[in-house]
């Protein structure tokens, strides 16, 4: 078993933790003693951060609906479909018919970029964040 220093992905705090890796599978997590943010502590989500990594329910490819079924596609195709969908809604109904949900698994900087995209590109203030610890 080996330990890999990482950062928890459950919120924007950036707690330091070690992921315990055995046979190329992440099997556990524990706090980093010297990390300046978490200082040898993790919340309950941090202790269980490893559980979603190898989940069979986790998506590994982008999906697009074709002929009524979700099918795996390339990232470029998925982004083109999403951009066309947002553009179509904005042109047909106006920008305030679009809402954006941000994620606590993003860094503060990523969430800042998303709100700038929402306001400057999409033209709406309809953005919310799910940070609930």
Task: Give the tens place of pLDDT for each residue, 106-130.
Answer: 778 888 999 999 999 999 999 998 7
pTM of the model: 0.69
Nearest to 125 by CA among 85, 87, 88, 94: 94
Task: Give the tens place of pLDDT for each residue, 23-78.
Answer: 999 999 999 999 999 999 999 999 999 998 899 998 999 999 999 999 999 999 99
Domains of the chain as residue ranges with CATH: 2-52 (2.20.25.90), 59-93 (no CATH), 95-133 (no CATH)
DSSP for 4-62, written as a single string: EEEE--SSTT--EEEEEEETTEEEEEEE-TT-TTTTT---HHHHTGGGGTT-TTS--S-
């Amino acid at each position: 078993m080996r330990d890999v220093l990482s950062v928890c992905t459950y919120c924007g705090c950036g707690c330091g933790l070690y992921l315990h890796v055995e046979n190329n599978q992440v099997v556990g997590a524990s706090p980093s003693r010297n990390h300046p943010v978490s200082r040898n502590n993790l919340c309950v989500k941090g202790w269980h951060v490893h559980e979603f990594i190898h989940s069979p329910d986790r998506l590994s490819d982008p999906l697009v609906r074709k002929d009524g079924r979700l099918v795996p596609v390339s990232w470029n195709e998925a982004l083109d479909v999403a951009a066309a969908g947002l553009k179509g809604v904005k042109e047909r109904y106006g920008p305030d018919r679009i809402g954006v949900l941000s994620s606590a698994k993003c860094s503060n900087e990523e969430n800042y970029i998303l709100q700038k995209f929402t306001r400057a590109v999409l033209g709406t203030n309809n953005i919310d964040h799910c940070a609930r610890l």
